[in-house]
Chain A
């Protein structure tokens, strides 16, 4: 009997998970830089500018994946038990706060932007909901009992670390292209090195947690040695972790960094972040039906 992975959620959901995480991560990067008193409008502005639009584009992928895209507004209706409804509320509040934050640069609201207290309050609120946006997707997948690969406390953590890391990388990428001062980029790269190292550990423990039931073992086999393995080893491990880690280490240790390697490293890292979501979704093997000693793999998963 060969257990099969779910096929209902595929690349468009992966794109949504990635963009929502990356956008929220970039927003947090910008806000932290602002609170730390970094020069505006460089890194803080880039982070905030990336936040709301990325999440919005991600949500468009989500809406297009719906069976009835025109009826997406129904998603706010039942926040009692459904993580889609809860997440919709979290992400909506984040987008509203992010849009307001963006709007602070538009005349005549720049007066509010000058008042640091007001901006900081908005930043902290926005960062809270950005964390919610990064974490809830892991909880959403984790709430699905038939897929043991997702039903683990490590998944929200994995998504959170990956979201922060890709968010920082997106800020580095745009910052480098926009010619932001190199010192700021170097600091972000150091932060990202720590995040990538942390992500490697989380990924290791994530797979360690798959030993428990046959379906999660099947997921691990599928991802590590099955049809999903090329995406995982080339996409997630090489593109997403090793290459950016190596290039960033080289960049922070070298006397003079090169813009081209920074751009290359962050682009690889972002592609790896997208593929991580894709790999997790494609690895979601469903539990078999059990009747006595017999087990039946679902054939229309």
Chain B
């Protein structure tokens, strides 16, 4: 099976819930967003148009990050999810420059969310820091993994579960009968920047 995502740009109204709930679920440090949203704008008033673009790791079938990784730290599991083995990564940043979608992050150290507070972490931030250190650590590449641990428990990724517009779907791209495969076929789903030959597993449905 190959996990895939569909994000319906018709439904998304740019509330950033995915960004925030991802932060809460993955305890990402300051400045790191696994589910970043971009604002797009074309034209000028009165014919200007805006469109949000929520992103996450595209879990490409042909990942650039995996091709350029010199240590073999980047691996693709049997479900198509790309992860980093922190015991092999040395933090060369090649994958960060190679990923066309900007989905790779290296955290040098935990930075306090509150400016000027130094090392004085409140209990919530201390918990987030401990969780981050346990799962990801510092000086090595980290990334979105479609909330793999939640998927193993039969739950949906945090961003899918929380999306108030129900604009996000997860499913099996290999199964032509799955909800996401049907959506992609019926509504002309497209991938971001197919010219890079990465074959992303995240599809978008056009807004209009």
Contacts and interface: CB of A to CB of B under 8 A. Distances in A.
Given A145-B64, A294-B40, A294-B53, A301 B139 contact: no
B93 A78 contact: no
Contact of B89 (A67, A290, A293): A67
Contact of B98 (A68, A145, A292): A145
B204 interface: yes
A75 B71 contact: yes
Contacts of B71: 74-75, 77-78, 85
B89 A68 contact: yes
A208 interface: no
Nearest to A85: B70
Contact of B68 (A68, A84, A295): A84
Interface residues of B, number: 49
A67 B108 contact: yes
Contact of B70 (A9, A84, A294): A84
A284 B96 CA distance: 13
A72 B91 CA distance: 9
Interface residues of A, number: 41
A133 interface: no
Interface string B174-187: 00000000000000
A143 interface: yes
B100 A67 contact: no
Contacts of A72: 90
Given A85-B71, A143-B68, A294-B53, A71 B90 contact: yes
A8 B97 CA distance: 7
A143 B98 CA distance: 8
Dominant SS among interface residues on chain B: loop
B117 interface: no
A77 B39 CA distance: 40
B141 A287 contact: no
Contact of A82 (B51, B55, B69, B88): B69
B90 A81 contact: no
Interface in A42-67: 65-67
B92 interface: yes
B1 interface: no
Contacts of B106: 67
B148 interface: no
Contact of A78 (B40, B41, B69): B69
Interface of B: 9, 31, 33, 36, 38-42, 49, 51, 53, 55, 64, 67-73, 88-94, 96-102, 106, 108, 138-141, 190, 192-193, 196-197, 204, 206-207
